[in-house]
Chain A
Amino acid sequence: MEPALAVTVGCFFALSIYLMLSDSTIRIVLGIAILGNAVNLLIFTAGRLTREVPPIVPSGYSAPFEATANPLPQALILTAIVISFSLFAFILVLVYRAYQELGTDSSQEMRLAEPVDEPGAPRGY
């Protein structure tokens, strides 16, 4: 099972990176959204896959009596999903505001912080 997921994860990474290399800021946002999923799947697969048995202790027992899915990566991913959503929302707002303020959605034209014709450093003391 893991190899199939490994290839899938590779595809997620490849597409997200391709989108992030674009000049269009909205494509970069899409790429970041996919990157979150790629990383989550990566952690999930690295913790090994178990079909259908969730890590839950049955009623009346102090521990599961059969092999369950690995709970540790699940806990990590649950946190990661929420945080990557926060990041996604924040970047989306940034892109939206940048478009409103600068009138462009191309990262090539956003040179406010690093202007093309920036004067050189002073040579005196």
Chain B
Amino acid sequence: MAYAVLAPFFLAIFAPALTQALGHRAGWALAALPAGLFIYFTGFIEPVSSGERFVFTAEWVPSYGVNLSFFVDGLSLVFALLITGIGAFILIYAGGYLKGHEHHGRFFSFLLMFMGSMLGLVLADNVITLFIFWELTSITSFLLIGFDHRREASRRAAIQALVVTGGGGLALLAGLILMAGATGTMEMSEMLSLGNLGDNPLYVPILLLVLGGAFTKSAQVPFHFWLPNAMEAPTPVSAYLHSATMVKAGVYLVMRVQPALGDTILWSIILPAFGGATLLTGVFLGLRQTDLKLMLAYTTVASLGLLIMLTGTSDLVIIEGAVLYLIAHSLFKGGLFMVAGTIDHEAGTRDITRLGGLRAAMPLTFAAAALCALSMAGLPPFFGFIAKEIMYKGLSHVALIPTGLPAADIAAWVLVAVAVIGNAMMLVIGFAVAFKPFLGTRADTPKSAHEGPVMLWIGPVVLSVLGLIAALTAHETGDLFIEPMTAAVSGVPIELDLHLWPSKFDAAVMLSILTIGLGLLIFSVYETARSGMGRIADWVGWGPDKGFDQAVRGIIAFAEEVTGIFQHGELRGYMIVTFGVTFLVLIVPLAMIDGLPAIPAIPDLFVYEWGVLALALAGLVAVFYAKTRLTAIISLGIQGFAVALIFLIFGAPDLSFTQFMVETLSVVILTLVLTRLSLAETDTRGMPRALGDGTIAIGVGAAFTLVLLSVTQQPLDLRLSAFFTEFSQPVAHGRNIVNVILVDFRALDTFGEITVVLVAGLACLAAIRLRKRRPPAAQSHGAELRNDADDAISQTRPLPSAKETVS
């Protein structure tokens, strides 16, 4: 099973090379993989429909309970079949649609990676695995939506999708981890068998976090805006992501956790409320669109809302309706998107006001569009009709039985009304997409339209016919797919008997007739309704989409402000912050934990020791007052040699020797450098600034004194020193303990030190050599060529003193 999930990723690696070799025909070859996987998954249909469940586990990080585990039940199987089945046709379609595109292979690669992520997501058993594949779909969809990365609109849509769905993914992760904590297992299949979590104290945060993930992915209000924007992607992407996969992931998640989190008051308020709002938002915003893809995108939003709304009822029959609708929607929406893409591809536009009369030129596409639209409209004998019938049966059944709670009764009727309006509007938009471009008088299109190649029409034709076949063989479809999937979503085994034609004239049939009548009525005044809806939307103006832009701009402006405050470009400011923090780090723990050190007695030092300390301080004072560079260098030397003397009188001859050497070198080098520069020797700081700087300096200095006093007043742990002293001679055969530590016990540290010296030396050399190789203006042409590399470096910087340095 893990191989089945990972196979698309492997193929993705080779897709570009294959496309190089085969051209656009690689679409046929690549489609063999999802087709093969589809056949592999069909092998599960028989056992799963008889109630079996399969779990496949491969250990990944067993110490954290993270496994690469997958499980197959009615729900995941139907999704896996949709992903691989529609995926195969999408790959073929993409072969024809992007024929000749310079990055065709890359596109196939992204599409396959997305397919693998989606498969992993719906089959995952371990919640961490589920989360990883969830985020992988976000990332791969980012790549797909932003495929045409040279256009700003594409980049915006891709970033938007990533931010919204990726952010929701983080909420989902938190929710899943809480869920794992509440149930004590990381495996989804085990969680579901433990019963409902409604009484768990963590139920509310779990539910809200998981729904946060599902609602962002499935584009529920107020996160619906990313989905229509994602239409910037090439049409194969829209057809795939927005029919059976990406956006259905949220619905999948809600259906998956329904047995564990569903059937509570909170669940049955939140889901129908958001789902219903999304349904209405989707259909009304969709009505005003004239772009075929955008019309379909908004009806996708609406359909997702409908699915969430239905799942939220936790009623068995309504869930059966949701399951039916989910499959029907995948088939007709995948087909319709491909039809829209074909029209765009062949006619050069997908603006519905500029299209008309294409039926003769593109008969196959027209037939596919018509079949899909009839299913979308919920007319018999199509699969969409059965879905709508069952959904109405459940909704009206719940509404007709009084619960005793007036609010609940009203809510049930509101759901019926919302479903009727939503379905009627979907009929309107579906008919508009499928019939307006084909019927009526032939309109002038940018390209002279004719039937697309086989790669473009095979997908829509097969999917639309499947929508018909599934309905005509309703009984078998119900047994094989609907029954196990409904059982998985509701959490209880059920028996279904599905028929195409309703057995009696009940409320559901009346609602269906009402829906179709209402839809046809609106469709008859389509142009007026569209422009009216456009005026309302323009009047509202602001929406979450604009809000996203405002939020992004706000974040950038805020980041710029903050950066401006902390990275102002003044070295002294950075230093003040550094030393201020140093002061606090030293003084706060001292004052709060250890207490200030006791005031020490006047130290008992010999005269020469006082003398050395006085010499050091005299050197410091001299540096402070130095007015010429030579005085400064000599004074620096004085304090350095005084430090060497301190080392000498306190038993550290090695240090003293090294310090003498280094100070001598420092003075020599400083003299060399400073005599070649004409630096201003006087300190330019005015009195107020000097006072401020002095305060900081004295404060930090005093803090170090206090810390050092405190340290020396506390007992010293000498274990390490004692170890070195004891073993220096017996183990390392050296008498100078300091040297033994450096070259033996801690030899690697010394090696590191040597490396530092070496790198510093090389860096100095490089910095100096860079100048020497600068070609003077009068140099010969050959020399200039030799120095091209350095030239490029120096030319990129506007150097005020360039001429001066050259001379």
Residues of chain A having any CB pair with chain B under 8 Å: 1-15, 17-24, 26-28, 30, 33-34, 37-38, 40-42, 44-59, 61-64, 68-72, 74-75, 77-79, 81-83, 85-90, 92-94, 96-97, 99-103, 105-108, 110-116, 120-125
Contacts and interface: CB of A to CB of B under 8 A. Distances in A.
21 contacts: A2-B709, A2-B712, A3-B603, A8-B613, A10-B705, A10-B708, A13-B704, A17-B579, A26-B674, A33-B636, A46-B712, A52-B651, A54-B652, A59-B735, A83-B756, A90-B760, A97-B767, A100-B805, A101-B805, A114-B569, A125-B156
Contacts of B701: 10-15, 17
A85 B800 contact: no
Contact of B735 (A45, A57, A123): A57
Nearest to B553: A123
Contacts of A112: 797
Contacts of B749: 79
Nearest to A115: B569
A21 to B, nearest CB: 4
B697 interface: yes
A75 B760 CA distance: 21
Contacts of A81: 655, 658-659, 662
Interface stretch (B327-335, B430-438, B719-727): B719-727
Contacts of A58: 735
Interface in B651-688: 651-655, 658-659, 662, 665-666, 669-670, 673-674, 676-677, 679-680, 683-685
A7 B652 CA distance: 20
A103 B697 CA distance: 29
A105 B680 contact: yes
Contacts of B623: 15, 19, 30, 34
Given A22-B685, A81-B659, A83-B756, A75 B746 contact: yes
Given A3-B600, A93-B764, A111-B569, A37 B640 contact: yes
Contact of A34 (B620, B659, B797): B620
Contact of A57 (B609, B610, B729): B729
Contact of B801 (A103, A107, A121): A103
Nearest to B632: A30
A70 B653 contact: no
A121 B132 CA distance: 32
Contacts of B473: none
Contacts of B632: 30
B763 interface: yes
Contacts of A48: 712, 716
A122 B155 CA distance: 14
A116 B705 CA distance: 39
A22 B682 CA distance: 11
A78 B712 CA distance: 21
Contacts of B771: 97, 100-101
Contacts of A121: 556, 559-560
B640 to A, nearest CB: 6
B709 A3 contact: yes
A85 to B, nearest CB: 5
Nearest to B601: A3
B650 interface: yes
Contact of A125 (B155, B601, B750): B155
B799 interface: yes
B700 A14 contact: yes
B702 A120 contact: no
B708 A46 contact: yes
Contacts of B605: 1, 4
Contacts of A55: 651, 725, 736-738
A54 B724 contact: no
A56 B659 CA distance: 19
A38 B708 CA distance: 12
A72 B164 CA distance: 56
Nearest to B620: A15
B711 interface: yes
Interface in B89-131: none
